[in-house]
Amino acid sequence: MQINRRKSERLEFMQSCRISYDGIIVKGKLLNISTEGLRLESTLPGLDINKIISIEIDTGVQSKNRFIQIELKIKNLIQNQGCFLIGGQLLSNFDVFRHWLEQLVNKFKSGTSHFMQHLSAHQVHTA
């Protein structure tokens, strides 16, 4: 995991996830999270703006909170070489998701919670 600083900050890692929408369930990887959105590596047929997707992230931590499930209404979608940059509005479990991200950031490097300040209360933005 690393934090890249460019115009927007990006938290890079590779977490297994399961993505579901419109009765479709696919496995993928959550590659990074930034102020631009979530970058996913997966095959996502028929994915489009204004769809609501569910993303179940495997945190890899052996506990009752091993899996975090969020719902995201897609506002922006960019596809590039098998990866999708998805921006939109988080509809559920924002606090759990934010807490998990904060733990990752703090584990990686103390004092980097500046990254978290860029995530507004219920939005993952795209440029």
CATH number 3.20.20.80 is the correct assignment for the domain at 2-124:
no
Residue 17, beta-bridge partner list: 28, 57
> Is the model's pTM score more than 0.85?
no
Rounded CA separation 57/66 (Å) = 8
Joined together, the tokens standing for residue 63 give 């506990």
Q: Is the pLDDT of residue 122 over 50?
A: no
- Residue 87's Cβ-count burial label (10 Å; 0-12, 13-18, 19+) is buried
Name the nearest CA neighbour of 125 among 8, 2, 6. 8
pLDDT tens-digit series, residues 51-77: 999 999 888 777 777 899 999 999 888
Q: Residue 10 gets which letter from DSSP?
A: E
Beta strands, E only, the chain: 2-5, 9-21, 24-34, 37-41, 52-58, 67-80, 83-90, 123-124
